[in-house]
Structure 1
Amino acid sequence: MTPHRIADVAAALGLEHAGDGDLVVRAPAPPAQAGPEELAVAMDPKFLGDLAKGRARAAVLPAGADWQGLGLAAAIFAPRARYAMAGLTARFQHPLDAPAGVHPSAIVDPSAQIGPGASIGPFVVIGRDVTIGANARILSHVSIGAGARIGDDALLMEGVRIGARTRIGHRFVAHPNAVAGADGFSFVTPEPGAVEAAKDRGASDVFGAAATVYVRIHSLGSVAIGDDVELGAGACLDRGTLKDTTIGNGTKIDNLVQVGHNVTVGEHCLLCAHVGIAGSAVIQDRVVLGGKAGVADHLTIGHDSVVAGGSGVGANVPPRSVMIGSPAIKRDEFNRMWMAMRRLPRAMDKLRELTGGLR
């Protein structure tokens, strides 16, 4: 990694430093393993004791830590550890091997418009009438469908698939094998089938070919993605049926997330790994969906809500709610039910005692 002065690192992070600001470090490292040219990361007080196990001369420490007593030559002070970690890792990020220009093995339709400074890697396929913004980095084996538009400073990592007509804003990041613009999972039977019967009557009491042959409803819409959106590895965004599936500015989507057709995701949402959102759901601004949370179709989750990991949302959620469980309910109600369940064995024992052995 590129060497950095302690004073420069602190200035880039907007943090205070003490000691030898000219001391040079080449990479951050855990405190117990850090060598003399590495910056020990000990922002949590519980890691301060590990500094003695390593050989670091400089460290990132909690605000007010006794850096001299820890035997350091220099220190950077981080009052908000995880936020400092974001800036620190960005400062020492490994550079991508993405030289400007089009690799000889790439296939780029003559009608495509490639912005200045863009890098088009090996075996990339770019369809007709595609527009790619300035300084975009398209790594190997990416495919971009006809009519797609991608903004400036995008990063599409290996194997990403961008479907036809998809529109993407600036500074988009897609990790390996992510897909934006797949066909929606939408089928119908010639006659009312088992799912419709289950919804209407609570029983799967239909049978026969007309109720079990599935006919595709095609996705005529596409996907529209705002600025500063990140799409994790293997995540999938399906096209809308008639309108576009939309992802708002600043939203971050983790690995293996599924966003169904016609879904609207607002701005600055956080969708953690294995989240599944069924068709036509609306996720308003600043919603957090924990890992493995599921959202049923045609529901609305209100702005600034948090849904805990593993929860199953089967009804509309008001704004600023905290939901837990499957089916998901408000946190306070969930806690009361959980405490009641924990007391149930003792209550049953007491009931047996009072009734002389109730079974």
Structure 2
Amino acid sequence: MPDPRFFETGPPISLGELAELTGAELSRPEAASLAITAVAVLGRAGPGSVTFLSDRRYVAQLAATEASAAFVTAREAGSAPAGCVALVTPHPQAAYAAAAERLHRPRRIEGGEAISPSARLEEGVRLAPGVVIGPGAEIGRGTVLGPGVVVGPGVAIGRDCQVGANAVIGFALVGDRVRILAGAVIGEPGFGAAPGPKGVVDIPQLGRVILQDGVTVGANTCIDRGAFDDTVIGENTKIDNQVQIAHNVRVGRNCAMAAHTGISGSVVIGDGAQFGGRAGVADHVSIGPGARIAAASGVMKDVPAGETWGGSPARPLKRWMRETAWIAKSAARRREGAEE
């Protein structure tokens, strides 16, 4: 279930209504009155929830799911277990998105008061002009919020933090001694889209961002909230300006990312990893503890712990340098041959 501090859960919906809403076909019409109260991804779905399968690699998870229903293609309908009603559709992920929008709505700042009466500020909090704090938000002792900062509903910020001008923080839990520089955006939806019958649709992002103690987030950096699991930045990690961290990323402790680094969704980064400027990492890649990624590298596969990789596609540094030197020598020989 999405965190109630950040999402409102609407009334249950029957499978019959859900099938009508999404254009899906019930595999068992007699189950049309069954109530659905939440959406969940396959690995976390339980009774009362609806999930989806759009990738055959996860058929085994579907077969073991405890979800009450699942959006699946006709090809996979037979893989749903006995306790899970198949909702057959050519667009399972888009149908899941429609169900998520119906059942879970993000909380927003509403009303005319800049500081919500239900926000809780400890002693010694300092607010610059133009700060907006949403309902249920909590700000710890000694924290300073710069001009124009927006803190969304339910957000918790720890003690002795510094938040720069015009930063926006939503759907997030922030530890102590965290520095968020001007213009940073924490907790906006991660990039999630799926083809639907009427074109591409957005997939609601129902997770959070967690910034642990001592994290620094640079100016104009964006850290997306999780699609369902959390995006987590470990203790004392330092992130430069204009970095993009996508949904579900998990960054370890004491990592460093130089400007313009881009981390795609569901990447796992071990403690002490370092990234040069403009490094990029493809989705679902693991970067081992202590690994180093050279500037402007493009990481397309897992990097073992302690290794230094460079190039695009990235490979171990010595190999990259040998290959680069060989290409340069080969090009030089070709030029010399052409001039003779």
TM-score of the two chains, using structure 2 as the length reference:
0.64
Q: 1:311 to 1:346 in 2, by over 3 A?
A: closer
| SS of aligned partner of 1:215 | strand
Structure 2: tracts of 5 or more residues without a match: 1-111
Correspondence list, 1:75-224, <5 A: 107-164=114-171, 166-190=172-196, 213-224=199-210
Cα deviation code 1:97-118 (max 9, x no counterpart): xxxxxxxx98211111101111
Cα deviation code 1:22-52 (max 9, x no counterpart): xxxxxxxxxxxxxxxxxxxxxxxxxxxxxxx
Give the counterpart of 1:305 among 291, 294, 304.
291
How far residue 345 of structure 1 moved from its aligned partner, in angstroms, is: 3.6
Q: Could you say which residue in structure 2 is the equivalent of 1:270? A: 256
- Distance in 2 of aligned mates of 1:350 and 1:157: 56
Cα deviation code 1:174-218 (max 9, x no counterpart): 11110110111110113xxxxxxxxxxxxxxxxxxx5x9211111
Q: 1:349 to 1:151 in 2, by over 3 A?
A: closer
Q: 1:346 to 1:172 in 2, by over 3 A?
A: closer
* Kept after mapping to 2: 8 A contact 1:265/1:284: yes
| SS of aligned partner of 2:329 | helix
Q: Could you say which residue in structure 1 is the equivalent of 2:222? A: 236
| SS of aligned partner of 2:199 | coil
How far residue 249 of structure 1 moved from its aligned partner, in angstroms, is: 0.2
Q: Relative contact order, CA 8 A, sep 6+: which one is greater?
A: 2
Cα deviation code 1:219-244 (max 9, x no counterpart): 10010110000111100000101111
- Distance in 1 of aligned mates of 2:124 and 2:163: 15
Q: 1:242 to 1:345 in 2, by over 3 A?
A: closer
| SS of aligned partner of 2:186 | strand
Is it true that 1:283 corresponds to 2:269 in the alignment?
A: yes
* Kept after mapping to 2: 8 A contact 1:128/1:147: yes
Structure 1: tracts of 5 or more residues without a match: 1-104, 191-209
Q: Which amino acid aligns with 1:295?
A: V
Q: 1:146 to 1:333 in 2, by over 3 A?
A: same
* Kept after mapping to 2: 8 A contact 1:106/1:121: no
* Kept after mapping to 2: 8 A contact 1:289/1:306: yes
Give the counterpart of 2:243 among 235, 257, 264.
257
Q: Which amino acid aligns with 1:119?
A: R
How far residue 349 of structure 1 moved from its aligned partner, in angstroms, is: 7.1
- Distance in 1 of aligned mates of 2:150 and 2:332: 61
Q: Could you say which residue in structure 2 is the equivalent of 1:336? A: 322
Structure 1 stretches of 4+ moved >6 Å: 349-353
State how many pairs are aligned.
229
Q: 1:122 to 1:316 in 2, by over 3 A?
A: same
| SS of aligned partner of 1:344 | helix
How far residue 351 of structure 1 moved from its aligned partner, in angstroms, is: 8.0
Q: 1:111 to 1:291 in 2, by over 3 A?
A: same
Q: Which amino acid aligns with 1:310?
A: A
State which structure, 1 or 2, has the greater radius of gyration over its C-alpha atoms: 1
What is the aligned-residue identity percentage? 38
CA RMSD of aligned residues (A): 2.0
Is it true that 1:295 corresponds to 2:302 in the alignment?
A: no
- Distance in 2 of aligned mates of 1:151 and 1:106: 23
- Distance in 2 of aligned mates of 1:138 and 1:177: 12
Correspondence list, 1:313-324, <5 A: 313-324=299-310
* Kept after mapping to 2: 8 A contact 1:106/1:122: no
* Kept after mapping to 2: 8 A contact 1:106/1:123: no
Q: 1:112 to 1:350 in 2, by over 3 A?
A: closer
* Kept after mapping to 2: 8 A contact 1:106/1:124: no
